[in-house]
Structure 1
């Protein structure tokens, strides 16, 4: 049997440098390029691993330094320093002075027997008061003095009578809820007839096709008269003014009552404006 030897297949470098001078340096560099890359990768990986392991190696080779722990100290719990027996004691603190307040001398009454009570000095007579003035003590004055003796204001009588000032009458309280509500004469049906008969639809509201309710508030006095007419919620276009005009034109109501007596009551009334 004959042995057959297969020729090795040409590489890329052989194809590129075919029929060229392979002794030139470029062919050698390309020939050993893969080996150089593989060697560089190994060396770089080794250097990277050494660099990463350097801190660990340093910690293993060098002794660990003992770290001083921070200790929190409570100053309030520190015991006082020892007392030196040779040291003199500290001086006592100065006395605290209390603030001075106004005082009034007051002597309590003292009970004495009748024989120890001094005799009372009789009051001056009318003749003595003509030439002298009552005072705390008796003393002689200058007879040549022309000073006019004037009676003190405390003892002088009133010079004029002040006119009595009448207090203004207190306004009665306005109730919102009472035992007996105020009522229109004839009841609610009569009130509806009065409103439908007297309300005039405003032209502006009619042209704008406005309809709805106007809520009016007013006070019914103890005599049934209407007061303080205001609009709580209106529609505009003249409906608010028309509602207030009709309410003010109402006859007197029957007043509301609380505990059997007439009182002032605040009443809210809705007035309907509806186009036919």
Structure 2
């Protein structure tokens, strides 16, 4: 009619729709101004959106333009106390004692330093003949034939170090020579067979098995700190401990050629007669 493309908001279409109607009640004006109002609303929405996005930047800019109030610095006078008076009667600490003299004479033999010839002020190093009867050191020094010999220490500048032995109460888990019952394991087995009394309750209940005991063999061969590390029953545990407490002294463990305390474990078997 007015073209191949239909535009219902075109003014011609609006006039056709409202040709025989009342144009004064407002609908006609709304249709006629629709495009203008839509464009105005779009522009306003874009402006508001840009303003909201830019608001933090605007606030920061405004903060920079506002002058800051002058900060008041409070000044406090600090009164320094005078130093304490020096006690003139107090004697200064004595100087450290001089190191003992070496056993052999020393000749000065400092480490070599590369210098130009005009800066060398040291005397010539000691000769082989001098070193044959004296030791090299930091300074020339006469020796004391009665002084103690020090090993692996700077000559004339070392302190005598006392050798501290290892803790005698240390308990070893493994040693060069393990502790042993007098006569060996066969004698120990015979001692247990002779000493152990099968508890009556365990005999009636048919209790059989092994109790593992852990103890310490002292340096004199006595047994201390006897404990059950694997239990069988209350009766068999107590009987195994009783038998071991009555044991004669063992041969102690040997470490570095001397007896030491050693932790040791032994099994004590409880088997009823006639059972395999």
**TM-score, normalization: structure 1?**
0.44
Bigger Rg, which one: 1
**TM-score, normalization: structure 2?**
0.44
